Structure 1
Amino acid sequence: MNSSLKTILGSHHEYLTLDRNLLIREISFAAHNYAYSAKDLNLGRDVRIAFPEFTGIEYILIDILEGRRLSFELEGIGRTLDPDRPELYVYFDLYISRYQEFEENRLIVFFEDATERMTLQQALAQRANEACLLVNSLTISQNYLDRIISSIPDALLVTTASGTIKIINKYATNLLGYSQEELINLPISTIVNNDFFLEQVNSLSPKFPDRILKDIQVSCRTKTGNFITVAFSCSAIETEIKGGKNLIYIGRDMSG
């Protein structure tokens, strides 16, 4: 290889050169760091012994040598640095192109360390997988919770501390004549016609779980404008936001 080119390459990349029989003709100083079998990385040896990645792509290499293809690359190849410590890995990218040496076409193989990039990609992929598993778990949990809520044989509503309805089960919507979509995000005062009762409920705190309201009868307004009597038992639960709370109403129809 041209000496000036060799100097430039040697300072930036590790490399090999190969003849058309895939025999190694030149080896840079630290190219053995990327070999699968460093002891087999010797001049005159078949490159496929030290680098099994070349097995099966011989037709591509011939195309490069004969000018039918400009180059070829393999990315993210992994090597174990220490057989006794499989967690120690080096990753590299491999680039192959053609050059001429004394009017003979040869292959030049560049190696570029990719350990930092691959480690980051793996960490990001792991986090993405964990996030996906968490979403799936939450979806399953939410579906399970929805089935429980739907099966409760009483009216159930969950509101924010300010009284905005966030959850309402089918029994409650049937009792009041609304759909879930019509009541979600509306104030509880839309259906409960008793401000004093709502103030009592709002005074409940998750810090005192034993303090609940039990069987308080209040008038509730249905969608048609009629009033029915419902006996509510209420409590407060903590939310994921520190200091936040939700309010739970479980009601039984007393009109019948």
Structure 2
Amino acid sequence: MVSHLPITHYPIAHYSFPCSVNQIHIVNNQEYVIIDRNFQIIDSSTAVSKYAALPEKIKPGQDIRLSFPELIGLEATCELIYNQQQDNFTLKAIARNQADNQVIYFDIYLEKIENYLVLLCKDVTELMVLKQSLMQKVNEAELALSSLKRFENCTNRIIGSMGELLIITNASGIIERVNRAAKTILGYGKSDFVGNHLSFVVNDPKFDFTQIYRSLLKENNTLVKYEFTCEKAQGELVEIEFNCFVVPTEVKDVLNCVYIGRDITIRKQAEAEIRQALEKEKELTQLKSRFISMASHEFRNPLSSILISADALADSQNNISTEDFNFYVKFIQKAALNMNSLLEDVLLISRQEAGKQSFKPEKFNLAEFSQQIIHEISLTYPDRKVDLTLEGDLSNFSGDEKLLWHILTNILCNALKYSPTKSIVDFTISQSKDQVIIEIRDRGIGISPETQKHIFESFYRGNNVNDIPGSGLGLAIVKRAVDLHQGQIIITSEPNLGSTVKVIL
């Protein structure tokens, strides 16, 4: 009878086997089958049948290949393992249909113990489903981003081909963007416009930007028409008719102003001539001729813009303002990154758990490296502060720079994320003999004693994190990265009093 005792490391811990395979240690969530060199089953765990193609064939004397056809064709490899010419063999992410039409995924690990081959099955369904889900979301996000980028190009082409001039200002009237027509009609370069007040080009005593802005706010979502005299770069005055409206910005309750204008100088001149003709009682034919001339000019540009815009929008099948478009582009770009970031975290932890994470130590300046990380993180947490203290000579530190980046970034992000706004996180690095001690202390929500028991488990999150986002992978990645450095990580914490994380490398 084979005894089954639990262990705490992956996949099998070897001990002395005095007579036969009478001690096999299996990690949690793994089942096993013991076979001889002829693939005949000797013994198995009770629940291993759920991984078998033919569960009823999992019994002593049966050929293991009936239940695990994945072994067919691997007989030579199994013989190498049995003859100790190869240590082990792994098959990853095998899919198996269940009776309830569900699919489970599992890894197979094969190794020799005494005169037997031991086949371990590890359930990786949750991880595979998560990977597939994340990949699908990343693909969807990339498709959406690609679509929006195409629409951005389309929108920029529309703006660039507009016959009307376009000027966008902030709430203070400072010009932020102009199109090609604005530069052509008024004769200024882009650098002349951007950064200057709208009054730079509007030379009209009727112009009062503050009053205009208030009117636009009052008439939100409504076009308001204004006619102003503007001064061209050569000093010439032109009459511009503006259609004005406000659009939201990234700052809440702050709106930008959009001015779409067309040169109505000829129309104004025609109107003046018409009035003069009426006053002088010119002949109706002259008046009609001038009116037709004016109308043909005034309708040409608007109709041209409508046709160009219609063609472009027919391709994009969207109708969205430039500001809304930019807002949504930036929103989609951040998410992705997180998942991507989350997906990269999942892939990293997968490599670490599979023992495929490389360790490439090299010399670098740990002080400068830490300061750079603080700078990067401060962009994400601008309302929190990291107080860095450096002790000793850290200019010639030896370690894996990529792994150390994961160690410091994950610990610091946790300290900032779970701390109150405007709080300070203490970050100390000291060098002593052949050790470097990294200590990060926050004043956040802390970690309960129960949570601390599982703190380094993948995907595990404390019961006091509430709605604070996170994947539960950060400290698991940190622990494995510290282990690769043959270091030590110590966490002390109390709920509502903060946490201190000490890493000794």
Q: TM-score range by the shorter chain?
A: 0.7 to 0.9
Q: Any conservation in 2 of the 1:165–1:183 contact (CA below 8 Å)?
A: no
Give the TM-score taking structure 1 as reference length: 0.78
Shift of 1:69: 1.9
Shift of 1:31: 0.5
**Rounded Cα–Cα distance in structure 2 between residues aligned with 1:20 and 1:179:** 83
Instruction: Map 1:2-17 onto structure 2 (within 5 A).
Output: 2=20, 4-6=22-24, 8-9=25-26, 13-17=30-34
Q: Which residue is 2:110 aligned to?
A: 96
Q: Which residue is 1:208 aligned to?
A: 220
Number of aligned pairs? 244
Quickly say closer, same or farther: Cα 1:21–1:193, change in 2 above 3 A: same
Q: Which residue is 2:144 aligned to?
A: 134
Instruction: Map 1:122-201 onto structure 2 (within 5 A).
Output: 122-180=132-190, 182=191, 186-189=195-198, 191-193=200-202, 196-201=207-212
**Corresponding letter in the other structure for 1:89:** V
**Corresponding letter in the other structure for 1:144:** C
Q: Which residue is 1:236 aligned to?
A: 245
**Rounded Cα–Cα distance in structure 2 between residues aligned with 1:108 and 1:92:** 16
SS of residue paired to 1:92:
strand
Shift of 1:187: 4.0
The more displaced of 65-74 and 24-33 is 65-74
Give the TM-score taking structure 2 as reference length: 0.43
The more displaced of 114-123 and 189-198 is 189-198
Q: Which residue is 1:28 aligned to?
A: 45
Q: Which residue is 1:19 aligned to?
A: 36
Among residues 230, 240, 259, which one is paired with 1:249 in the alignment?
259
Residue 48 in 1 paired to residue 65 in 2? Answer: yes
**Rounded Cα–Cα distance in structure 2 between residues aligned with 1:23 and 1:183:** 85
Q: Deviations over 1:152-175 (max 9, x none)?
A: 111112333333444422222333
Shift of 1:231: 0.5
Q: Any conservation in 2 of the 1:76–1:114 contact (CA below 8 Å)?
A: yes
SS of residue paired to 2:98:
strand
Shift of 1:117: 2.2
Quickly say closer, same or farther: Cα 1:53–1:197, change in 2 above 3 A: farther
The more displaced of 132-141 and 64-73 is 64-73
Shift of 1:20: 2.7
Shift of 1:206: 7.6
**Rounded Cα–Cα distance in structure 2 between residues aligned with 1:185 and 1:68:** 73
**Rounded Cα–Cα distance in structure 2 between residues aligned with 1:29 and 1:114:** 19
Q: Any conservation in 1 of the 2:223–2:243 contact (CA below 8 Å)?
A: no
**Corresponding letter in the other structure for 1:229:** V
Shift of 1:15: 0.4
**Rounded Cα–Cα distance in structure 2 between residues aligned with 1:47 and 1:236:** 75
Among residues 74, 77, 87, which one is paired with 1:57 in the alignment?
74
**Rounded Cα–Cα distance in structure 2 between residues aligned with 1:20 and 1:3:** 14
Structure 1's unaligned 5+ residue stretches are none
Shift of 1:142: 0.8
Quickly say closer, same or farther: Cα 1:230–1:69, change in 2 above 3 A: farther
Identity of aligned residues (%): 29
Shift of 1:10: 8.5
Instruction: Map 1:77-92 onto structure 2 (within 5 A).
Output: 77-83=94-100, 86=101, 88-92=102-106
SS of residue paired to 2:126:
helix
Among residues 207, 219, 223, which one is paired with 2:230 in the alignment?
219
Q: Deviations over 1:179-219 (max 9, x none)?
A: 55x368524437434593432432203853335023x1232
Q: Any conservation in 2 of the 1:193–1:219 contact (CA below 8 Å)?
A: yes
